[in-house]
Structure 1
Amino acid sequence: MWKSLSVGLARRWRAGLTQAFGVAGAIWLVTEIVTRVSTTANTWLTNNGDTYLMGVLIAGAAWFLAYSYERRKVTFQVPTTSSYITIKFGNMFDEPTDWLIGVNEFFDGRLGQVIAPTSVHGQFISRVFNGDENAFRRAVTTALKGVLFTTTTRSSQPSDAYAIGTTAVLANGPHKAFLVAMSHTDHVTHKAGSTVPMMWDAMRGALQAVQNHGNGQPLAMPLIGNGLSSVNVEPQHLLRLIVLALVDFGRKVGLPKQVTIVVPEACFDALDLREIRRDWMKH
């Protein structure tokens, strides 16, 4: 709560003051009208001026704080569709829905140097496959059966690389997990990296898989491209890119009724969710 208030005040205290004065002005206008037509109201105001003034100040202050408070969750409708996008801070794995997760082109499953256990990719393997690389590999191999790949000279296995946007659909209890290839990996250092065009292609490939296999079920995704496979874009711009990709695909093809983007707490100071919502509410 205090963090939401402090961040919000830092961002929009000037606009908050304008809003507060606007509220005070509206109250004053109504008061002027009422006291001119009502002798009782005019008498009460004359006898209780201090109470009235205190009420106006409290109303203005309350409006100022409410306006400035930084939201932790916003929802808006995708223009011209019946789908909704929610952006919230939290942990994607707490969402009881289908998941969309970005991975590298090899769909690696070995935790450690290759896949960081703290990454969303790594956490997925730990949570769903108990960290078992072989079990994860079997599931991915089955899901990608018949999909074209390129054999590389990479010394570690797997060495078969899939095109950006290739999506493996894995069972996850009553839900599905859509793992999309969104980054290229250095064969020696195992460092993954992506670009804005790659992100766009990955989103289109993943959303097409969701359209084909998701049966319209709610979908949750992290701020993909913000982790170790960084697109090297500021979180606010990255979030805009993801939302734009969702809206574009939703208008042209279709989205689930509900798509939730769950962003990490570490990005709280860098993200303005209200601004994202305001931009799309105008359309």
Structure 2
Amino acid sequence: MAIDLFKSIALGVQRHWRNGLRNGLAAVGAVWTITEVLTAASTSAKSALDGQGTEYLVAMAILFVVVFLAYVFEPGSVSFKVPNTDTKITLKYSDIFVQDANLLIGVNEFFDGELGAPVSKNTVHGQFIVRNFSGSAGSFRAAVEPALAAAGAVASPTARTIEPSKAYPIGTTVSVPNGSHTVFLMAMTNTDLNTSKASSDVPRLWTALRQGLQFVHDRGNGEPLAMPLFGNGQSGVKLEPQHLLRLLVLALVDFATNSNARLPKHVTIVLHESCFEELDIREIARDWKKP
């Protein structure tokens, strides 16, 4: 469901009413000044305005409202270019699984496929298993195991009592088909061997992203890429959504500008609508649009 228009306006007014008021009044003031100059210089213009004073005031009110709303409205999507590259990053509220792009999804170090304690069906990882493998752990693992072998991933044995019991290093990434696109599965969390609780932190997330993006560069053929707001779910990265989104954008920019690899020309960070009131995507885009 798209972000509600009233919700976008109401939140925008709450956050940016001063900016909207200032610019709305500035627009009215500019037009008013031009009108004063024209009526002072031309008697015909003055006569025309004198005959339509009410209409003029209504027009000024409409102008104020339009400019005010333009400056306070909270959009559902913003885009900006990564400095000194040809990559455009888009932040948008949507469903990640309807994007016309390859997907980068976070998983745990075991690449688990069993829904329940190992993988919550409410995570993007779990939703992928439900959507693409009908919730079957066996089908998921049948796709992942040859992909791990093809990627040359090396696992380490653990004391885990359930299978799979071999863990892969954080950042290990594999690719599995997703219709005409590809899903890249990136190990970004560690799992408690007793409770199966997944957890991560900023250093682990950063490491995972660096390696995951490198794998995407090597295997993604430059096709558009979409990813969720990593760390905002059950992985336990203890950052507010706004700071988490800033971190993710910074990781993308850092990879694009400080590595020998390139990002795809279009990267989308897909945000869940439950984060709408906690995120200010215009602020982040504005920061990167500054000269």
TM-score (norm 2): 0.95
Q: Which residue of 1 aligns with 2:274?
A: 266
Moved more, 23-32 or 260-269: 23-32
CA distance in 2, matches of 1:15, 1:173: 45
CA distance in 2, matches of 1:258, 1:281: 16
Q: CA deviation at 1:250?
A: 1.3
Q: Which residue of 1 aligns with 2:118?
A: 114
Q: Which residue of 2 aligns with 1:36?
A: 40
1:234-249 mapped onto 2 (5 Å cutoff): 234-249=240-255
Q: Deviations over 1:127-172 (max 9, x none)?
A: 1111111121122111111312211111111111111111011111
Letter in 2 for 1:269: E
Give the alignment's Cα RMSD to 1 decimal: 1.1
SS at match of 1:75: strand
Q: CA deviation at 1:276?
A: 0.7
Letter in 2 for 1:72: G
Residue 85 (str. 1) matches residue 93 (str. 2): no
Q: Deviations over 1:26-76 (max 9, x none)?
A: 111211222233222111122222221221111011111121111110011
CA distance in 1, matches of 2:141, 2:218: 23
CA distance in 1, matches of 2:72, 2:59: 20
Q: Which residue of 1 aligns with 2:199?
A: 193
SS at match of 2:177: strand
Q: CA deviation at 1:230?
A: 2.3
Q: Which residue of 2 aligns with 1:228?
A: 234
Displaced runs of 4+ in structure 1, greater than 3 A?
none
SS at match of 2:182: strand
- Unmatched 5+ stretches in structure 1: none
Aligned length: 283
8 Å CA contact 2:87–2:265 kept in 1: the answer is yes
Q: Which residue of 2 aligns with 1:281?
A: 289
Residue 148 (str. 1) matches residue 151 (str. 2): no
Selected match of 2:208 from 163, 178, 202: 202
Residue 56 (str. 1) matches residue 60 (str. 2): yes
TM-score (norm 1): 0.97
CA distance in 1, matches of 2:115, 2:208: 23
1:119-130 mapped onto 2 (5 Å cutoff): 119-130=123-134
- Unmatched 5+ stretches in structure 2: none
1:94-113 mapped onto 2 (5 Å cutoff): 94-113=98-117
